[in-house]
Amino acid sequence: MVAAYLDSELVGYALGYGLSSNTRWWTGLQTDQPAAFFVEDGTRTFALNELVVAPERRRRGYGRMLHDALLDGRPEERATLLVRPDNPAAELYEKLGWREAGRQQPFPDSPTFRSMVLPLTTR
């Protein structure tokens, strides 16, 4: 987890975790990815779970700063995240190099998300 403060006021935070070898992260992913795409060994993929910037601080570069602080230097080969298709953050993720791997409904009662992946080996 990383957090950003400005004059002792929380600007935003980002957090995530490494996917375990028995993860259910890819459950419900609708994609034409090969079977090897889904293989996890406990060190392959980092899941970005939250990237939050206070509304009054958005569009000032804090989201990118938090994103980079969380992901730079990570040992995994890739990162993944889920974002609702109508979330404006999806545009930021695309600018940062994330690509859609497919659409995903992780649980029967959840919305459908864009499942996105970012290679980390080039960072």
6-23: string of b/e by CB count within 10 Å (b at 16+)? eeeeebbbbebebbeeeb
Tens digits of per-residue pLDDT, 48-87?
999 999 999 999 999 999 999 999 999 999 999 999 999 9
38-50 pLDDT per residue, tens: 999 999 999 999 9
The CATH number for 101's domain is 3.40.630.30
Task: Indicate the number of domains in the chain.
Answer: 1
Domain span at 53: 2-119
Q: How many of the other CB atoms lie within 10 Å of CB of 116?
A: 22
The share of the chain scoring above pLDDT 90, in percent, equals 90
Q: pLDDT tens digits for 97-110?
A: 999 999 999 989 99
